[in-house]
Amino acid sequence: MKWKGRQGSRNIEDRRRSGGAGRAAGGIGGVGLIAVLVIGYFLGVDVTPLLNSGGGQISGETSTQLTQADEQAAEFVSVTLADTETIWSEVFEEQLGQSYRPATLVLFKGATQSPCGGASGASGPFYCPVDKKAYLDTDFFTTLSRRLGASGDFAAAYVVAHEIAHHVQNELGILSQANKARQSMSQSESNRVSVMIELQADCFSGIWSRYAQEQLGTIERGDLAEALNAARQIGDDTLQRNAGQRPNPHSFTHGTSAQRESWFQRGFETARLQDCDTFSANRL
């Protein structure tokens, strides 16, 4: 992915030097726990099974020291965020005749607060529809690669794009409608709607990737394979299987590996918002 030396976004709120706590200790270890929970929140996966075997507690250690890797990750996120702004502005104008209002991305290290609750390196990155901000601890790129085998800069860009895709859903009114409907549903029905939300975000990420390739020219050979690999690695079935459990479809809340890969590909191939309507699909 061609990102170095390119202009970043102005919609970055950097809280990394404001202090914080929350390093994981014990159980599967700090890096492992953060990696597991990062995937859970950032990519939308129920990672509870991965925690059952080792546990893990959050200590009170505070650290605000920024490494060179932290700074590079922040630069990468800023450039990727700028790309999402450029692309979604174009998509909204071309396909909807509307203006896109970008999200703010909050960088933090250790812990911070949001209207949707506390964020920490253990809870992982997430999108909060209340303040329309995405929250991200810059440590997650390393753990994404080491713990789950989703390496490569475009794999990281894909997960950023996925989180911003939830903002796109929020801007379109999809997220609020879906979450409101879930409140009156049974657990199994609610889980299925959750899967639809996440798969649509994957499809939107595919649209972003297609535009990045054609309009920005930032995708290099092997980049799409990195994104598809990331989609496979964070499927509900794969995570449960890797945790030594038999996959339980009734507990899936974000889709199987095959589904996540398929919907990403659909978005990339068609590049049309209407083709990402997981809520009307006869088959996910």
pLDDT tens readout for residues 241-255: 888 889 989 889 899
pLDDT tens across 150-166, in order? 778 898 898 899 999 99
Q: Is the pLDDT of residue 51 over 50?
A: no
Q: Is the pLDDT of residue 177 over 90?
A: yes
Residues 267 and 270: their CA atoms lie apart, in Å, by 6
Q: Is the pLDDT of residue 47 over 70?
A: no
* Residues 49, 238 contacting (CB under 8 angstroms): no
Q: Which residues contact 172 (CB under 8 A, 6 or more apart)?
A: none
Q: What sign does the dihedral 66-67-70-71 (CA atoms) show?
A: positive
Among 255, 250, 249, which Cα is nearest to 235's? Answer: 255
Q: Is the pLDDT of residue 188 over 50?
A: yes
Q: Is the pLDDT of residue 274 over 80?
A: yes
* Residues 254, 45 contacting (CB under 8 angstroms): yes
* Residues 169, 267 contacting (CB under 8 angstroms): no
List the Cα angle 19/24/30 in 5-degree steps: 115
Mean pLDDT for 221-235 is: 90
**DSSP H or E run through 112:** strand 111-114
Look up tokens 């978005």; give the residue. Answer: 267
| Angstrom distances, CA of residue 3 to CA of 78, 153, 180, 261, 277 | 10, 9, 38, 24, 30
Q: What's the pTM?
A: 0.83
Q: Considering only 45-49, 115-119, 134-138, 274-278, which range has the smallest mean pLDDT?
A: 45-49
Percent pLDDT > 90 in the chain is 55
More confident residue, 39 or 230: 230
pLDDT on residue 121: 60
Q: Take residue 73 and report the two structure tokens written for it.
A: 């990750």
Helix runs in the chain, H state only: 30-42, 48-52, 68-91, 140-148, 153-171, 174-182, 187-211, 223-233, 236-242, 257-270
Q: CA dihedral defined by 234, 50, 48, 260, rounded to 10 degrees?
A: 10
Q: Take residue 222 and report the two structure tokens written for it.
A: 């092997």
